Amino acid sequence: MSKVVLSYSGGLDTSVCIPILREQYQYDEIVTVTVDVGQPESDLRKAEARAGKLSDKHYTVDAKNEFVEKYLFPLIKANGNYEGYTLGQAIARPLIAKKVLEIAEKEHVSAIAHGCTGKGNDQLRFEAVFRAAAFKIHAPMRELNLTRSEEIEYALEHNLDVQITFEKPYSVDENLWSRSIEGGRLEDPSCIPPEDIYKWTMAPTKTQGKLLLSLDFAKGIPVALDGAQVSGLQLIRKLNEVAGKFGVGRTDLIEDRVLGLKAREIYEHPAATVILTAHAELEALVLTREERKFKAQVEAAWAELIYQGLLDEPLTAALDAFINKTQERVTGSATLLLHNGTATAVARSSPKALYSEALVSFNDKSLDQRDAEGFSKYHGFQSRAYNKFVKD
Protein backbone atom coordinates (compact mmCIF):
# COMPACT_ATOMS: atom_id res chain seq x y z
CA MET A 1 0.00 0.00 0.00
CA SER A 2 1.49 3.33 -0.98
CA LYS A 3 0.22 6.31 0.92
CA VAL A 4 0.73 10.03 0.46
CA VAL A 5 -0.39 13.09 2.40
CA LEU A 6 -1.41 16.17 0.41
CA SER A 7 -1.49 19.72 1.73
CA TYR A 8 -5.00 20.57 0.52
CA SER A 9 -6.63 23.99 0.23
CA GLY A 10 -9.63 22.80 -1.77
CA GLY A 11 -8.72 25.07 -4.69
CA LEU A 12 -7.86 24.24 -8.27
CA ASP A 13 -4.18 23.25 -7.94
CA THR A 14 -4.58 20.95 -4.98
CA SER A 15 -7.85 19.41 -6.21
CA VAL A 16 -6.23 18.53 -9.52
CA CYS A 17 -3.38 16.94 -7.56
CA ILE A 18 -5.63 14.22 -6.10
CA PRO A 19 -6.51 12.29 -9.31
CA ILE A 20 -3.00 12.96 -10.59
CA LEU A 21 -1.44 11.39 -7.50
CA ARG A 22 -3.68 8.39 -7.97
CA GLU A 23 -3.41 7.98 -11.73
CA GLN A 24 0.07 9.17 -12.55
CA TYR A 25 1.96 8.65 -9.29
CA GLN A 26 0.06 5.46 -8.52
CA TYR A 27 -0.73 6.09 -4.87
CA ASP A 28 -3.36 3.78 -3.38
CA GLU A 29 -4.22 6.00 -0.46
CA ILE A 30 -4.38 9.79 -0.36
CA VAL A 31 -4.75 11.68 2.90
CA THR A 32 -5.67 15.36 2.55
CA VAL A 33 -4.96 18.02 5.17
CA THR A 34 -6.45 21.49 5.28
CA VAL A 35 -4.99 23.82 7.88
CA ASP A 36 -7.40 26.44 9.16
CA VAL A 37 -5.52 29.74 9.40
CA GLY A 38 -8.68 31.79 9.25
CA GLN A 39 -9.95 31.19 5.73
CA PRO A 40 -13.76 31.51 5.42
CA GLU A 41 -15.76 28.70 7.03
CA SER A 42 -17.44 28.10 3.68
CA ASP A 43 -14.04 27.40 2.05
CA LEU A 44 -13.18 24.91 4.76
CA ARG A 45 -16.51 23.14 4.35
CA LYS A 46 -16.06 23.10 0.57
CA ALA A 47 -12.58 21.63 0.95
CA GLU A 48 -14.02 18.96 3.27
CA ALA A 49 -16.81 18.14 0.82
CA ARG A 50 -14.42 17.90 -2.12
CA ALA A 51 -11.95 15.86 -0.12
CA GLY A 52 -14.85 13.59 0.87
CA LYS A 53 -15.36 12.76 -2.80
CA LEU A 54 -11.75 12.67 -3.94
CA SER A 55 -9.43 11.57 -1.13
CA ASP A 56 -9.42 8.61 1.23
CA LYS A 57 -9.12 10.47 4.50
CA HIS A 58 -9.27 14.16 5.37
CA TYR A 59 -8.11 16.28 8.26
CA THR A 60 -9.04 19.89 9.03
CA VAL A 61 -6.56 21.27 11.55
CA ASP A 62 -7.55 24.37 13.50
CA ALA A 63 -4.39 26.49 13.79
CA LYS A 64 -6.05 29.91 14.10
CA ASN A 65 -4.95 30.81 17.59
CA GLU A 66 -1.45 29.52 17.05
CA PHE A 67 -1.29 31.53 13.82
CA VAL A 68 -2.29 34.70 15.66
CA GLU A 69 -0.17 34.30 18.76
CA LYS A 70 3.01 32.66 17.45
CA TYR A 71 3.14 34.10 13.95
CA LEU A 72 1.11 37.30 13.63
CA PHE A 73 2.05 38.84 16.97
CA PRO A 74 5.78 38.67 16.10
CA LEU A 75 4.90 40.08 12.65
CA ILE A 76 3.12 43.04 14.26
CA LYS A 77 6.08 43.70 16.56
CA ALA A 78 8.31 43.65 13.47
CA ASN A 79 5.98 45.96 11.47
CA GLY A 80 6.06 43.12 8.88
CA ASN A 81 6.33 44.50 5.37
CA TYR A 82 8.09 43.22 2.24
CA GLU A 83 7.94 45.70 -0.66
CA GLY A 84 4.53 46.88 0.61
CA TYR A 85 3.17 43.33 1.19
CA THR A 86 2.00 42.59 4.73
CA LEU A 87 3.27 38.98 4.39
CA GLY A 88 -0.02 37.22 5.15
CA GLN A 89 0.47 34.23 2.85
CA ALA A 90 4.22 34.04 3.43
CA ILE A 91 3.98 33.77 7.20
CA ALA A 92 1.20 31.17 7.12
CA ARG A 93 3.10 28.67 4.97
CA PRO A 94 5.60 27.36 7.54
CA LEU A 95 2.75 26.79 10.02
CA ILE A 96 0.65 24.96 7.41
CA ALA A 97 3.69 22.88 6.47
CA LYS A 98 4.39 21.95 10.10
CA LYS A 99 0.81 20.75 10.62
CA VAL A 100 0.92 18.70 7.40
CA LEU A 101 4.22 17.18 8.49
CA GLU A 102 2.71 16.16 11.84
CA ILE A 103 -0.08 14.30 10.05
CA ALA A 104 2.40 12.70 7.65
CA GLU A 105 4.22 11.28 10.66
CA LYS A 106 1.04 10.15 12.38
CA GLU A 107 -0.31 8.48 9.22
CA HIS A 108 3.00 6.76 8.38
CA VAL A 109 2.92 7.88 4.77
CA SER A 110 5.87 7.56 2.45
CA ALA A 111 5.49 10.95 0.75
CA ILE A 112 4.19 14.48 1.10
CA ALA A 113 2.67 16.36 -1.83
CA HIS A 114 1.77 20.00 -2.36
CA GLY A 115 0.06 21.88 -5.18
CA CYS A 116 2.51 24.73 -5.65
CA THR A 117 3.78 25.59 -9.09
CA GLY A 118 7.44 25.96 -9.93
CA LYS A 119 7.12 29.71 -10.40
CA GLY A 120 6.18 30.99 -6.98
CA ASN A 121 7.48 31.32 -3.45
CA ASP A 122 5.18 28.83 -1.78
CA GLN A 123 7.06 25.74 -3.05
CA LEU A 124 10.17 27.05 -1.27
CA ARG A 125 8.36 27.90 1.95
CA PHE A 126 6.64 24.49 2.17
CA GLU A 127 9.67 22.45 1.29
CA ALA A 128 11.94 24.36 3.68
CA VAL A 129 9.82 22.68 6.38
CA PHE A 130 8.99 19.34 4.72
CA ARG A 131 12.61 18.57 3.90
CA ALA A 132 13.51 18.48 7.60
CA ALA A 133 12.03 14.95 7.54
CA ALA A 134 12.88 12.05 5.26
CA PHE A 135 9.63 11.90 3.26
CA LYS A 136 9.66 11.89 -0.50
CA ILE A 137 8.26 15.16 -1.84
CA HIS A 138 5.95 15.52 -4.80
CA ALA A 139 4.95 18.78 -6.47
CA PRO A 140 2.78 17.52 -9.36
CA MET A 141 2.08 20.97 -10.83
CA ARG A 142 5.79 21.64 -11.03
CA GLU A 143 6.84 18.13 -12.05
CA LEU A 144 4.29 17.91 -14.89
CA ASN A 145 4.95 21.55 -15.86
CA LEU A 146 1.18 22.20 -15.99
CA THR A 147 -0.30 25.56 -16.99
CA ARG A 148 -3.34 26.95 -15.24
CA SER A 149 -5.44 26.42 -18.39
CA GLU A 150 -4.35 22.79 -18.55
CA GLU A 151 -5.37 22.43 -14.92
CA ILE A 152 -8.79 23.93 -15.60
CA GLU A 153 -9.25 21.53 -18.53
CA TYR A 154 -8.16 18.62 -16.37
CA ALA A 155 -10.58 19.68 -13.62
CA LEU A 156 -13.48 19.91 -16.11
CA GLU A 157 -12.66 16.50 -17.63
CA HIS A 158 -12.52 14.93 -14.18
CA ASN A 159 -15.68 16.68 -12.93
CA LEU A 160 -13.82 18.26 -10.05
CA ASP A 161 -16.30 21.12 -9.68
CA VAL A 162 -13.73 23.66 -8.50
CA GLN A 163 -15.73 26.70 -9.63
CA ILE A 164 -12.83 28.23 -11.49
CA THR A 165 -13.45 29.20 -15.08
CA PHE A 166 -11.43 30.39 -18.04
CA GLU A 167 -13.13 33.80 -17.59
CA LYS A 168 -12.16 34.14 -13.92
CA PRO A 169 -9.07 31.99 -13.52
CA TYR A 170 -7.76 33.89 -10.47
CA SER A 171 -5.67 32.20 -7.85
CA VAL A 172 -6.96 33.43 -4.51
CA ASP A 173 -5.48 32.67 -1.11
CA GLU A 174 -7.18 33.82 2.08
CA ASN A 175 -6.26 33.72 5.71
CA LEU A 176 -6.83 35.95 8.73
CA TRP A 177 -4.12 38.43 7.77
CA SER A 178 -4.67 38.86 4.05
CA ARG A 179 -6.35 37.84 0.85
CA SER A 180 -4.15 37.56 -2.24
CA ILE A 181 -5.43 37.57 -5.79
CA GLU A 182 -3.27 36.64 -8.76
CA GLY A 183 -3.55 35.32 -12.30
CA GLY A 184 -5.70 35.86 -15.37
CA ARG A 185 -5.60 39.36 -16.75
CA LEU A 186 -4.12 40.66 -13.50
CA GLU A 187 -0.85 39.18 -14.77
CA ASP A 188 -0.66 42.15 -17.15
CA PRO A 189 0.70 44.91 -14.90
CA SER A 190 -0.87 47.55 -17.17
CA CYS A 191 -4.38 46.12 -16.65
CA ILE A 192 -6.50 47.99 -14.09
CA PRO A 193 -8.09 45.27 -11.92
CA PRO A 194 -11.84 44.79 -12.26
CA GLU A 195 -13.73 45.69 -9.09
CA ASP A 196 -15.16 42.17 -8.73
CA ILE A 197 -11.82 40.66 -7.66
CA TYR A 198 -12.16 42.38 -4.28
CA LYS A 199 -14.09 40.76 -1.47
CA TRP A 200 -12.87 42.25 1.82
CA THR A 201 -12.73 45.91 0.86
CA MET A 202 -15.15 48.44 -0.57
CA ALA A 203 -13.82 50.58 -3.43
CA PRO A 204 -12.13 53.52 -1.64
CA THR A 205 -13.96 55.93 -3.95
CA LYS A 206 -17.35 54.51 -2.96
CA THR A 207 -17.14 54.44 0.83
CA GLN A 208 -19.33 56.59 3.01
CA GLY A 209 -18.60 58.47 6.20
CA LYS A 210 -15.62 58.13 8.46
CA LEU A 211 -14.76 56.37 11.70
CA LEU A 212 -12.40 56.96 14.61
CA LEU A 213 -11.09 53.89 16.38
CA SER A 214 -8.49 53.39 19.05
CA LEU A 215 -6.23 50.41 19.64
CA ASP A 216 -4.43 49.64 22.90
CA PHE A 217 -1.14 47.75 22.88
CA ALA A 218 0.72 46.01 25.70
CA LYS A 219 4.39 45.30 24.96
CA GLY A 220 3.83 45.53 21.23
CA ILE A 221 0.74 43.32 21.12
CA PRO A 222 -2.75 44.70 20.42
CA VAL A 223 -5.03 44.01 23.39
CA ALA A 224 -8.09 46.28 23.18
CA LEU A 225 -10.31 47.96 20.62
CA ASP A 226 -12.01 51.20 21.69
CA GLY A 227 -11.19 50.38 25.30
CA ALA A 228 -12.69 46.87 25.28
CA GLN A 229 -10.35 43.89 25.74
CA VAL A 230 -10.28 41.52 22.77
CA SER A 231 -8.34 38.42 21.76
CA GLY A 232 -6.03 38.75 18.77
CA LEU A 233 -8.33 36.54 16.70
CA GLN A 234 -11.45 38.59 17.55
CA LEU A 235 -9.64 41.85 16.88
CA ILE A 236 -8.35 40.84 13.46
CA ARG A 237 -11.75 39.50 12.37
CA LYS A 238 -13.53 42.62 13.60
CA LEU A 239 -11.07 45.01 11.97
CA ASN A 240 -11.17 43.19 8.63
CA GLU A 241 -14.91 43.77 8.63
CA VAL A 242 -14.97 47.33 9.96
CA ALA A 243 -11.97 48.79 8.13
CA GLY A 244 -12.88 46.94 4.91
CA LYS A 245 -16.08 49.01 4.78
CA PHE A 246 -13.93 52.13 4.57
CA GLY A 247 -11.86 50.65 1.74
CA VAL A 248 -8.79 50.39 3.96
CA GLY A 249 -6.06 47.85 3.10
CA ARG A 250 -5.90 47.36 -0.65
CA THR A 251 -2.49 46.85 -2.21
CA ASP A 252 -1.65 46.48 -5.89
CA LEU A 253 2.08 46.03 -6.33
CA ILE A 254 4.96 44.68 -8.32
CA GLU A 255 6.68 42.13 -6.12
CA ASP A 256 10.12 40.56 -6.47
CA ARG A 257 9.73 36.85 -5.86
CA VAL A 258 12.49 34.79 -4.27
CA LEU A 259 13.32 33.16 -7.62
CA GLY A 260 13.85 36.60 -9.12
CA LEU A 261 10.64 36.81 -11.15
CA LYS A 262 8.73 40.06 -10.89
CA ALA A 263 5.03 39.49 -10.31
CA ARG A 264 1.97 41.71 -10.12
CA GLU A 265 0.22 40.99 -6.84
CA ILE A 266 -3.01 42.26 -5.37
CA TYR A 267 -3.88 42.00 -1.69
CA GLU A 268 -6.63 42.95 0.73
CA HIS A 269 -5.68 43.33 4.40
CA PRO A 270 -7.81 45.88 6.30
CA ALA A 271 -6.98 44.64 9.82
CA ALA A 272 -3.27 44.40 9.03
CA THR A 273 -3.19 48.01 7.81
CA VAL A 274 -4.99 49.30 10.90
CA ILE A 275 -2.93 47.31 13.39
CA LEU A 276 0.43 47.97 11.72
CA THR A 277 -0.29 51.71 11.36
CA ALA A 278 -1.31 52.03 15.02
CA HIS A 279 1.67 49.97 16.20
CA ALA A 280 4.21 52.00 14.24
CA GLU A 281 2.63 55.19 15.53
CA LEU A 282 3.03 54.09 19.12
CA GLU A 283 6.64 53.10 18.50
CA ALA A 284 7.31 56.60 17.20
CA LEU A 285 6.26 57.93 20.59
CA VAL A 286 8.22 55.56 22.82
CA LEU A 287 11.38 54.42 21.03
CA THR A 288 14.50 56.55 20.77
CA ARG A 289 15.66 57.87 17.43
CA GLU A 290 18.56 55.39 17.53
CA GLU A 291 16.26 52.48 18.28
CA ARG A 292 13.90 53.44 15.45
CA LYS A 293 16.68 53.77 12.90
CA PHE A 294 18.26 50.46 13.81
CA LYS A 295 14.93 48.66 14.11
CA ALA A 296 14.03 49.69 10.55
CA GLN A 297 17.09 47.78 9.33
CA VAL A 298 16.24 44.78 11.48
CA GLU A 299 12.66 44.86 10.16
CA ALA A 300 13.86 44.80 6.54
CA ALA A 301 16.04 41.75 7.24
CA TRP A 302 13.22 40.06 9.21
CA ALA A 303 10.68 40.64 6.40
CA GLU A 304 13.01 39.09 3.83
CA LEU A 305 13.48 35.97 5.94
CA ILE A 306 9.72 35.63 6.44
CA TYR A 307 9.09 36.24 2.75
CA GLN A 308 11.45 33.35 2.00
CA GLY A 309 9.73 31.14 4.56
CA LEU A 310 12.90 30.83 6.64
CA LEU A 311 11.24 30.96 10.04
CA ASP A 312 13.57 28.32 11.42
CA GLU A 313 16.70 30.20 10.36
CA PRO A 314 18.63 31.11 13.54
CA LEU A 315 18.91 34.70 12.33
CA THR A 316 15.11 34.97 12.53
CA ALA A 317 15.24 34.07 16.23
CA ALA A 318 18.10 36.48 16.82
CA LEU A 319 16.20 39.34 15.16
CA ASP A 320 13.08 38.42 17.15
CA ALA A 321 15.12 38.71 20.34
CA PHE A 322 16.16 42.25 19.44
CA ILE A 323 12.62 43.16 18.40
CA ASN A 324 11.14 41.76 21.63
CA LYS A 325 13.56 43.83 23.68
CA THR A 326 12.34 47.01 21.96
CA GLN A 327 8.70 46.04 22.51
CA GLU A 328 8.99 46.04 26.31
CA ARG A 329 8.02 49.73 26.24
CA VAL A 330 5.50 49.63 23.38
CA THR A 331 2.47 50.03 25.62
CA GLY A 332 -0.22 52.64 25.11
CA SER A 333 -2.79 53.53 22.50
CA ALA A 334 -3.18 55.05 19.07
CA THR A 335 -6.31 56.48 17.49
CA LEU A 336 -6.86 56.19 13.75
CA LEU A 337 -9.26 57.89 11.39
CA LEU A 338 -10.68 55.60 8.70
CA HIS A 339 -11.89 57.40 5.62
CA ASN A 340 -11.99 56.70 1.86
CA GLY A 341 -9.41 53.92 1.88
CA THR A 342 -7.05 55.53 4.37
CA ALA A 343 -6.23 54.79 8.01
CA THR A 344 -4.42 57.76 9.47
CA ALA A 345 -3.10 58.18 12.99
CA VAL A 346 -4.70 61.22 14.62
CA ALA A 347 -3.82 60.68 18.31
CA ARG A 348 -1.44 58.61 20.41
CA SER A 349 -0.54 58.25 24.10
CA SER A 350 1.66 56.08 26.29
CA PRO A 351 2.86 55.87 29.89
CA LYS A 352 6.29 55.16 28.34
CA ALA A 353 6.31 58.15 25.97
CA LEU A 354 9.67 59.86 25.51
CA TYR A 355 7.72 62.87 24.44
CA SER A 356 7.72 65.94 26.70
CA GLU A 357 5.16 68.54 25.87
CA ALA A 358 6.86 70.99 28.23
CA LEU A 359 10.24 70.66 26.53
CA VAL A 360 9.04 70.92 22.95
CA SER A 361 6.37 73.59 23.49
CA PHE A 362 6.82 77.05 21.99
CA ASN A 363 5.40 78.47 25.22
CA ASP A 364 7.82 77.03 27.74
CA LYS A 365 11.07 78.37 29.18
CA SER A 366 12.40 75.32 31.08
CA LEU A 367 14.92 74.74 28.28
CA ASP A 368 16.97 77.88 27.62
CA GLN A 369 16.92 78.36 23.83
CA ARG A 370 20.27 80.14 24.03
CA ASP A 371 21.94 76.82 24.92
CA ALA A 372 21.31 75.66 21.33
CA GLU A 373 23.53 78.39 19.90
CA GLY A 374 26.80 76.52 20.52
CA PHE A 375 25.33 73.35 18.93
CA SER A 376 24.23 75.43 15.91
CA LYS A 377 27.75 76.71 15.39
CA TYR A 378 29.10 73.20 14.85
CA HIS A 379 26.12 71.91 12.87
CA GLY A 380 27.08 71.62 9.17
CA PHE A 381 30.73 72.37 9.98
CA GLN A 382 32.13 69.72 7.60
CA SER A 383 29.89 70.73 4.69
CA ARG A 384 30.99 74.34 5.04
CA ALA A 385 34.64 73.29 5.28
CA TYR A 386 34.31 71.21 2.10
CA ASN A 387 32.67 74.04 0.14
CA LYS A 388 35.22 76.54 1.33
CA PHE A 389 38.54 74.69 1.14
CA VAL A 390 38.21 71.53 -0.92
CA LYS A 391 35.65 71.86 -3.71
CA ASP A 392 37.19 72.64 -7.20
Annotated catalytic residue 122: yes
173 lines the binding site for ligand ARG (CB under 6 A): yes
Stretch of 16-24, 118-126, 271-279, 287-295 contacting ligand ARG, by CB under 6 A = 118-126
Residue 282 and residue 332: Cα distance in Å, rounded?
Answer: 7
281 lines the binding site for ligand ARG (CB under 6 A): no
In the list 34, 121, 207, 308, the residue contacting ligand ARG (rule: CB under 6 A) is 121
Catalytic option among 36, 122, 173, 216: 122
Q: DSSP class of residue 199?
A: S
Catalytic option among 110, 171, 214, 349: 171
Give the dihedral sign, CA 118/119/124/125: negative
Annotated catalytic residue 13: yes
Closest CA to 97 of 134, 123, 136, 70: 123
6 to each of 47, 108, 137, how far by Cα in Å?
A: 12, 13, 10
Closest CA to 23 of 157, 171, 161, 122: 157
Nearer to ligand ARG, 216 or 265 (CB): 265
State the minimum distance, in angstroms, from the CB of residue 377 to ligand ARG.
52
Nearer to ligand ARG, 262 or 293 (CB): 262
Helix-strand-coil percent breakdown of the chain, rounded to 5? Answer: 45, 20, 35
**H helices present in the chain, as ranges:** 12-23, 41-54, 64-66, 73-77, 88-106, 122-130, 140-143, 148-157, 232-244, 270-286, 289-308, 314-327, 357-360, 372-378, 381-385
In the list 36, 122, 127, 151, the residue contacting ligand ARG (rule: CB under 6 A) is 122
Number of residues located near ligand ARG, criterion CB under 6 A: 11
Stretch of 120-128, 203-211, 240-248, 324-332 contacting ligand ARG, by CB under 6 A = 120-128
Annotated catalytic residue 292: no
Please report, as residue ranges, which positions from 219 to 278 form the binding site for ligand ARG (by CB under 6 A).
255, 265
Catalytic option among 50, 93, 125, 348: 93
State the minimum distance, in angstroms, from the CB of residue 131 to ligand ARG.
19
Strand ranges across the sheet with 342-349: 228-229, 221-225, 210-218, 332-339, 342-349
Nearer to ligand ARG, 34 or 121 (CB): 121
Task: Please answer whether residues 300 and 293 qualify as being in contact, where contact means their C-beta atoms are separated by less than 8 angstroms.
Answer: no
Annotated catalytic residue 125: no
Please report, as residue ranges, which positions from 324 to 383 form the binding site for ligand ARG (by CB under 6 A).
none
**Catalytic amino acids?**
13, 93, 122, 171
Chain positions contacting ligand ARG, by CB under 6 A: 89-90, 120-122, 171, 173, 180, 182, 255, 265
